[in-house]
Structure 1
Amino acid sequence: MAIIKCPECGHQISDKASICPVCGVKIENNIIKCPHCGNVYLKDQPTCPVCHQSPLASTVATQQPAIPVQPQIQPSQSAAAEQQAPRKSNKNKIIAIIIAVAIIIAGGYWYASSMNSLHGDEETAYVNAMNSSDPAVLQDYLDSFKDAPQEHIDSIQAHLEILKMNDTEWTNAIISNSKTALQQYIDNHPNSLHKTEALHKIDSIDWAQCSRQNTPEAYQAYLTEHSEGEHIVEAQEKLDKLDATTVGADDKQVVNSAFQQFFRGINNNDEMGITSAVSSTLHFLTNPNATKQDVISFLHKLHKDDVRSLTWRANNDYNIKKKDMGDNTYEYDVEFTVDESVSYINSDNDKFNQYKVRGHVDSNGKISSLQLVKIG
C-alpha cells in the first residue's frame, strides 16, 4: 500500500482505498501510475496529464527488440539480392512482436475492466444493502460477495444484527397488543418496514375501545386522533346516531322549561301560564284526548276555597329519553318526581304529597302527555 495524491482533488489517500473520502472519485483499480514521470492519474484518461505520454508507448518500447545494424558493405548485385530476404524476415518478426504486445495489452485492459465491473457491482450492492431495512437484502449481499472487502462485510453484518434486534422488538410489541408498546416501537424506529402494520394495529385497538364505550365522547376522540383512520366513516355515523338520541344540556333545558312553566301556572293559579305549557290536545291524567280546558278545570280543583296556598316543585331527577323526529327536531319521554305542599286556612289540614310524573314533550317544546302517580 502506498500514499498517493487523489488525481481528482489532490487529497492524500491510500492507493488501496475504494474511493476518495473527500471528492468521492473511485480509486481502487481505477488509477494508473505513469511509467514516464510517475504521476498518478485516472484510467479513463488516454495519456498522462503531466508528460502527455501514453503507457502503451512505454510498453511497446520496452518490449520491442533492437534491430541489429549491419555494416555498410558495397556488395555486388547478386549479394544484395541475397541480403534482401533476411531483411524482410526481420521486418515480419517486428510486426509479429508488435501485434503480440498489442494483444497482451488489450487482454490486460479487458481483464482490468472486467474486474472493475465486478468491483463496481459489489460497490452498488453494498450501498443498496446498507440503505435497506430488509434483512434478506443484506444476507443476499453476504452470499453473493464472499470476496468483498472485509470492511464492507463487517458493516453489512453489523447492520444485519441491528435489523434482527429490531425484529425482536417488533415481535414483542405486536404480541403485547399494547397501544403504548406499538407507539414506542414507531417512535424508536420511524423508518421501519413494520410502521404501517403498527399504525394499523393502533387504529384497531382504539376503534375496539371506543366501540365498547359507545359514547359520543369516545367516537369524537377516535375521529380526532385518527383523522385518516380506517373507521372514520363508521365512527362519524355512530356519532351522528348517538347525537340524535343522547340527551345533552340543551335537551334537558327544553324539558325542564316546559314542566317548570306548567307547575308555576299551578302555583300561581294562572290559567294562561299553565295552558301555554301544554299542546292544544294531550293525554292528560286519565283522559287521552284532553284539551286545554280540561287542564284549566284541573287547576281549579286544586285551588279550592279552603286552600290558602299551593306549591308544586319538580325535583331534579329527570330521566329523559330522546327521539329523533328528523330535520333536527326531537321529542322527549320524561319521568321525574314532584312534591306538592298544600297550606289550608285550617292549618291542621296542611298536607304534603309526592307524585311520580310521566310525561311527553313534543318537538315544539309543549307537554303533550302528563300522568301523575301518587307515591306512598
Structure 2
Amino acid sequence: MKKREKAGDEDEQEDSDEDSDEGSDWDELESDEESESGCPLDDSVCPPCMYPELFENTLQLRARKLDLEELIVEERKSCDALRKECDALAKKEKIVQSSLKAAEGDLELFDREKQQKLNELDVVVPLRLHQIEFLTNGVLPSDLSDSLVLNTKTLLSLQDRIRQLLVEKSDQGELYRQARHRHYQLIHDRKDMENRIHELEERCEAMMMAKFGQLVDLEALQTLSGNRVVEELKNDSKIKEAQHTNELKHCKVKLTEAKQALMEVSRKHTERVCTLNCLLKEKKDLEAKLDTRQKKMGAQFRDQRCEEDERHRLQKIVASQAEEMETLRQEITMLSHKGGHVLPPTQSLPSPYHNDRPHPHLRSGGAPSSLPSSQQSLD
C-alpha cells in the first residue's frame, strides 16, 4: 500500500509539475500579451492572436490542474492521517501482544489447575467381563476399589518388561555365581598367605634369637639404622662442604694471580704497541727521506747517462772518420802507383762537431793538438 501510495504521489507530482509548467507558460504568455496590449486579459474572451480551440483546451487544462491540486492536498492530508493511525495501531499491537502473552500464561496455569482437579475426581469407566482380570481365587470380588484400570498397550509393554527383567535376573544370577566362586577362591588364597606369613614370622624370630639372643623390634631397629645413615650423610656433607670451601679459596687465589698476570701482560702489550707506533713513524720518515734521495740519484743518473750517450756518439763519429781517412789513403796510394795526379777533394768533409762546441783535438789556447797517425801520414 505504501509503495502504491508513493507511486501515485509521484505520478500526481509529475502531472502537477507538467500542469504548473503549462500554467507558467500560459501565465508568461498572458503577461506578455498584457504588456503588449497594456490592458488586463479577460479569461472568458479569446485573444485575437490565438485559436479558439487552443484557448478552450487551455481553460480546461487549467480547471483540471486546480482540481488535481485540490485532490493532491486532500490525499496528502489523508496520507498523514493514515500514517498517524498506523503508528497508533502499531503501539496498540505491541500492547495487545504483551497482554496476549500474559493471558496465555494465565490460561496455561488454569489448564494445569483444572487437570489437577479433574485427576482428583472419580470417573466411571464402563468395562466388560472379559476386560476384568482382577480375580481372587478365580472369583470376581465384590469390592473393586483396589483394582487398576490400564490400557491394553500399557499392559502389553508391562508384560514385555517383566520378561526382560526375568532375563536380566538370570544374567545377574550368573554374575553372582561367578563372583561367589571368585570370593571362595580369594578366601582360600588369603588363608594360604596367612600361613605363609606365620611361617616367615617364626623363621624371623628364630633368626633374631640366634643373632641377638632376644626378640628385637624391627621397626625401632630400622629407625635407628635410618638415623645412623642420616648422621653418616650429614658427616659426609660437612666434609664435602669443607673440601669445597678450600677449593673455592684456592680458586679465588688463582683468580687473583691470573688477574695480576693479565694486568702485567696488558701493560707490556701497551708498551710494545707504543714502541711499534714510534717505529712505524720512524719508518715513514725514513721512507720519505729515501724517496727524496732516490729522486736525486735518478736525476744524477740521467745526467751521467746523457754524458755517456754523447761520448759513445763522438766515438762513433771518430771511428767513421778514421774509416773514411783509410779509404782516402788507399785511393791516394793506388793513384800514386799509377803515376796520375791527385786532385784535391771537391768538397770538404763535414765537421762532426757543432759550431758552438770546441774541436776535441784543439787545446784551450787554440793550438792544434797532435793529429792521429793517419793525418800525419797524409801530410
State TM-score, norm by structure 2.
Answer: 0.26
The structure showing larger relative contact order (alpha-carbon pairs under 8 Å, at least 6 residues apart) is 1
Q: Decide which structure has the larger Cα Rg and report it.
A: 2
State TM-score, norm by structure 1.
Answer: 0.26
Q: Which has the higher strand share?
A: 1
Q: Which has the higher helix share?
A: 2
